[in-house]
Structure 1
Amino acid sequence: MRAAIAGVPVLVVLCVLPIASCAPGSDAGGPLAVAAEAPSRTTGPLADGRPGDGTRTANATDVAWLQLAISMTGQALRLLGSVRDRTSDPALIRAAARMSEAHRAQLGRLRELLRATGVPESDEHEGHDIPGVVTADDLAVLGRAQGPAFDRLFARHIGEYLRQSVLVAAGERTSGADPEIKIFAAALSRARTADLAQLPS
């Protein structure tokens, strides 16, 4: 994932440090193919939401996490939006509706935080087979499923997405620099953990 921070192109690898290795060729690093050519930072735009204050900094990990979380959340919303038409399970329909409402608010906040860094939103993850990102192919398969078959596929995809969301947020909390972004990563991790616990069995 490339992001330009303060005019410097940065390729960031977001590693969940307690879990995944960043060593070249490590399978554990695959889900978060995101770290660093340079420890570049942007200063100013994140200062209490006001540009130029310079009291806060966002590093490459902050930006990489925001971009990946935006992509993951947006694709998950497409998956959640398909539930009502594909299942007859009322508990699943209720869970998807609740998660959709929360995810829309979370997506808005992620975009707000990214705008404050001065880095534009990108679609670099679209079409990539990254664990936790629901792809167009996944959605096509789900679109052909109905009833219990859909329920099983949905549970697998949404479960993988939620677990990876928690792992990626842990990487941001460990390696990010901006306090506000790290606080939101912690809040998002708690919300996604709660979503996992509340999924119908």
Structure 2
Amino acid sequence: MRQSTASALLAAVLLVAGCGAGPRDAASTATPPVTAPPVSSAPTATGTAGSFNPTDIAWLQLTVAMTERLLPVLDLVPARTTDPAWRRTATQVATTRRAELDRAHRLLAEAAAPTTNPHEGHDMPGMVTAQEVTVLRAASGKPFHRLLAGHLRAHLTQSVRIATEEQQSGAQPATVALAAAVVRSGTADLARLDHLDPA
């Protein structure tokens, strides 16, 4: 893949993600410039040989950022609701997301990508904000369920969307395989959520 094409695909992934440096606001459309790290083509310790293109790196970094925002929300569930179905769903989603997060971190390390989070401080679609977490901490029971459902649905929908983009535009086999796993798990989790909280 030519570098110009890869850069265009990277931009497409970030546009789909709605990456911005400020709060989520319809008036805020600026996207900070992104410099992709050098790609790696050497076989790795885990056998995931293949070149990482800029789309692979961008998707992995965004997936890490989104998941790290979601996990503290799921950790609130045992203290905010006694409903066994919601507790079970939160546990299932958290277990899957932690496993996917671990795989994403390992792939970023294999790609020799920067260890810093390029999305630190960004509030993008699918990310729960600090203010929203504060509201969740003050809620319980059905009000908590409604808030949680909204945040989970936004996160899962966006995760599936950008993972689908990675499947179409990524190059590194293990990264594309992880994207496929995210699509499968996200779609299944959305179905569970729709059963608990019909949209």
* Pairwise same-fold verdict (TM > 0.5): yes
Matched, 1:119 2:113: yes
Code of the aligned partner of 1:85:
A
Indicate the residue corresponding to 2:65 in structure 1. 71
CA positional deviation for 1:123: 2.5
Matched, 1:131 2:129: no
Indicate the residue corresponding to 1:150 in structure 2. 144
Conservation of the 8 A alpha-carbon contact between 1:142 and 1:153: yes
Conservation of the 8 A alpha-carbon contact between 2:126 and 2:154: yes
Indicate the residue corresponding to 1:196 in structure 2. 190
- Pick the aligned partner of 1:160 from 151, 154, 158: 154
CA positional deviation for 1:131: 0.5
Percent same amino acid at aligned positions?
39
- Pick the aligned partner of 1:141 from 121, 124, 135: 135
**How does the TM-score come out when normalised to structure 2?**
0.78
Query: If each structure's strand is expressed as a fraction of its own residues, which one has the higher value?
Result: 1
Indicate the residue corresponding to 2:23 in structure 1. none
SS at match of 1:198: helix
RMSD in angstroms over aligned alpha carbons?
2.9
Output one character per residue of 1:79-110: Cα deviation in whole Å (capped at 9) or x when no partner: 11111111122100111112112211111111
Matched, 1:49 2:45: yes
**How does the TM-score come out when normalised to structure 1?**
0.77
Distance 1:153 1:91 in 2: 16
Distance 1:150 1:104 in 2: 22
Conservation of the 8 A alpha-carbon contact between 2:81 and 2:141: yes
Indicate the residue corresponding to 2:94 in structure 1. 100
Structure 2: runs of 5 or more not aligned: 1-9, 19-25
Distance 1:169 1:34 in 2: 21
Output one character per residue of 1:64-90: Cα deviation in whole Å (capped at 9) or x when no partner: 100000111111111111111111221
Conservation of the 8 A alpha-carbon contact between 1:111 and 1:121: no
Query: If each structure's helix is expressed as a fraction of its own residues, which one has the higher value?
Result: 2
CA positional deviation for 1:36: 7.1
SS at match of 1:177: coil
When the two structures are aligned, how many residues end up with a matched partner?
177
Distance 1:171 1:35 in 2: 20
Conservation of the 8 A alpha-carbon contact between 1:14 and 1:34: no
SS at match of 2:120: coil
- Judged with a 3 Å threshold, the aligned counterparts in structure 2 of structure 1 residues 14 and 137 are, in CA distance, closer, same or farther, namely farther
- Judged with a 3 Å threshold, the aligned counterparts in structure 2 of structure 1 residues 123 and 43 are, in CA distance, closer, same or farther, namely closer
CA positional deviation for 1:194: 0.6
- Judged with a 3 Å threshold, the aligned counterparts in structure 2 of structure 1 residues 41 and 171 are, in CA distance, closer, same or farther, namely farther
Structure 1: runs of 5 or more not aligned: 1-11, 22-26
Code of the aligned partner of 2:155:
Y
